[in-house]
Amino acid sequence: MSKEKIVLAYSGGLDTSVIIPWLKENYDAEVIAVCGDVGQGKETEGLEEKALKTGASKLYIADLTEEFITDAIYPCIKANAVYEGKYLLGTSMARPIIAKKLVEIAKKEGATAICHGATGKGNDQVRFELTIKALAPELKIIAPWRLDTWGMQSRDDELAYLEAHGIPFEASHDNSYSRDRNIWHLSHEGLELEDPANEPNYKHLLQLGVSPEDAPDVPEYITLDFEAGIPVAVNGEKLGPVEMLKKLNEIGGKNGIGIADICENRVVGMKSRGVYETPGGTILYYAHRELEYLCTDKKTQAFNEVASNKFTELVYSGEWYTPLREALSAYFDKVNETVTGTVKLKLYKGNIIPAGSTSPYSLYNESMASFTTGELYNHKDADGFINLFGLPLKVRAMMMANHENK
């Protein structure tokens, strides 16, 4: 009889390195490691050797970078999805894409369970597990950090476990931030950030760019072209999704763009302080919004704010594969049909300054908007509009006057 197979969301860090032998010991199972590559760069190097050394039967490294951009990032750009005014959802968007691949491989391998190394405090446990439940409700979910049998509370406990089981692991002194990297962003938690009273040590912390004060003293102008809400070119050069985001990360990083320090509300209710670097993403969001201002009518733009808030909440909470998120994406696809054109921006020391937008779908009409009287607008038309628009105020004022005179 063949052993049970368990698919593990694998990063190669200490937690998942410990989880492999722990699963084999506690479940007598074959462990298949899966790393979802969403653009974390060199972090995937050497993973296969490490996974096999710690007891995995095999390792899948799935290149999900372009899928991450087209299937998750683009819908969020169309929705202007920003959590609590600052966070551009870098980790939130990536986890469902990774979890979807875990499910695909679990089904391919005939696995009975999926395991992840997220703790019981964080958001990722929710994002992974909601995706698994939505796509493969028959699969069991194993979350060691929530189990009494885990028995480990610290990094030292985990290192001792590996040593006791004769498993080699190169452990450096833990004096760095806890980070999550993908092609969209880099998050930082820990060290001085654990106290909200402390200013971040940006010279030690930043990796994708520089602080605004260290950015060039000369502004840089760029143009971005959009088609139906999707970015297609930078400075007139047509680029694929991955190439474009890499280029914008480089441009934004050197100009100190996209650094956010936030004390956010996690899904489970606690506050968490972190710093996010999202240089290219911040530029894309800003450019998309500028074009939307030009091309979207008043009523739709107002409702976009309402729909965006709900969409953001769903993404942050891991509710990607839900009917409501899919319906809201369909709405944003529709309203972005006219968000097409070119946006020019000036980047200067952490600031993004609009420098002009053009679109074949522009709703700006100079004849109407100009201070000079145009042919399409009769100023006298405002009389009737104001009388009707102000009627409730007039009626209320008359009622209050009658009461005061009694």
Lowest mean pLDDT among 1-15, 217-231, 373-387: 373-387
Is 15 annotated as catalytic? yes
pLDDT confidence tier of residue 299, bands split at 50, 70 and 90: very high
In this prediction, residues 147-157 reach a mean pLDDT of 92
* pLDDT at residue number 169: 81
Give the domains, in start order, of the chain with CATH numbers.
5-73+89-164 (3.40.50.620), 178-296+338-358 (3.90.1260.10), 366-405 (no CATH)
Contacts of 186 (CB under 8 A, 6+ apart): 90, 179, 180, 207, 208, 276, 277
117 known member of a binding site: yes
CB atoms within 10 A of CB 160: 13
Catalytic residue among 37, 124, 180, 225: 124
Lowest mean pLDDT among 42-51, 237-246, 340-349: 42-51
* pLDDT at residue number 334: 98
- Note the pTM of the prediction, 2 decimals: 0.94
Q: What angle do CA 135, 44, 112 make, to 5 degrees?
A: 30
The answer to whether 190 and 180 have CB atoms below 8 angstroms apart is: no
* pLDDT at residue number 170: 74
Is 63 annotated as catalytic? no
70-116: per-residue pLDDT in tens?
999 999 999 999 999 999 999 999 999 999 999 999 999 999 999 99
Is 148 annotated as catalytic? no
Catalytic residue among 155, 156, 174, 178: 178
Lowest mean pLDDT among 348-352, 377-381, 383-387, 393-397: 377-381
Is 95 annotated as catalytic? yes
In this prediction, residues 23-42 reach a mean pLDDT of 96
127 known member of a binding site: yes
87 known member of a binding site: yes
348-382: per-residue pLDDT in tens?
999 999 999 999 999 998 766 666 655 677 888 89
